[in-house]
Structure formats: C-alpha cells, structure tokens
Amino acid sequence: MSEQLSKQQIYDRIKATSKDSYILEEMQRLGFWQSGSEPTLSEILIKQEAKVEKELNELLAQDRKFSNREAMILEMRKARMKIAKEKRAETKLNQEKKRLEKAENWKLLQQQQILYLGETVSKGLNVKETNSQILEKYNLPVF
C-alpha cells in the first residue's frame, strides 16, 4: 500500500475498525512498529478493542433500526414480499416443468397407441370385449 489514501478512504478504514487499530496498521506499514512473530500486549489490546468496538457499532445500528417501528414494519414487509416472490417463481417453474412432462408423456402415448381416428372409427378403439358373432360374420379370428 505505497499509494496515498484519500481522506474518505482513511475515514472508511477507521470506521471499519478503530482509530487505534488504523494507527497501529500504519505504524507497522511505515516501519515504526516492528511486528514480530509474537504480538505484543498493546497489539493484542488494540485488536481486541477494534473487535469489540465493531460489534458495539453493529449492535447500536440494530438497536436504531428496531427502535423505529415504521422502519421495522417496512423491513419485515419487504422480507415477506421477497419470500413470496421467490416462492411464486419456484411454483411457476414447477408448473412449467409439469406441463412439459405432461406434453412429453402425451407425445409418447400418441406414438405408442392409436388414440383417435375419427368419430365413427375411434368410438370402439379402446373396447376390450369382442363380439365373436360379428368377427365370425366377417371371417375374422377371435383373440
């Protein structure tokens, strides 16, 4: 990080951790603070303080969010609407999948069986019972 940071970038880094943590990082980067294999007590304390401060800031932000009732209700509604949209999209995909499967099964059935040949012919296509007298009349075998 030999490049010069802008003021806003420095503020963002301080906001992300803490002022002391930022100063420690800069001192180590510039060589004023030798970082050995084993961290010193002050380094440990600074890092611990940065961690606690970050957690405190998150909790304060959450408290501010929940203290405003209208904002909380709006956020809950947005979350419910998002879940409903996802569920609706999933249902739509499932229905489309079922429709395609049904169409595929219908095509397969049409290839395997004769389903319709017209009003007069198809009426008796799926009849399993045979009338042996009619078959004998036309000299056809009885199965």
Confidence of residue 1 (pLDDT cuts 50, 70, 90): very low
Structure tokens at 59: 């909790």
What ranges in the chain are assigned the alpha helix state H?
7-16, 19-30, 41-67, 69-112, 119-122, 132-137
The per-residue DSSP string of 14-43 comes to HHHS-HHHHHHHHHHHHTSS---SS--HHH
For the whole model, what pTM was predicted? 0.40
Q: What is the dihedral of CA 36, 40, 45, 47, to 10 degrees?
A: 0
- So what's the pLDDT on residue 3? 67
Tens digits of residue pLDDT in 65-124: 778 888 788 889 999 999 999 999 999 999 999 999 999 999 998 888 877 777 777 776
Tens digits of residue pLDDT in 14-54: 777 777 777 777 877 777 777 666 667 777 788 888 888 88
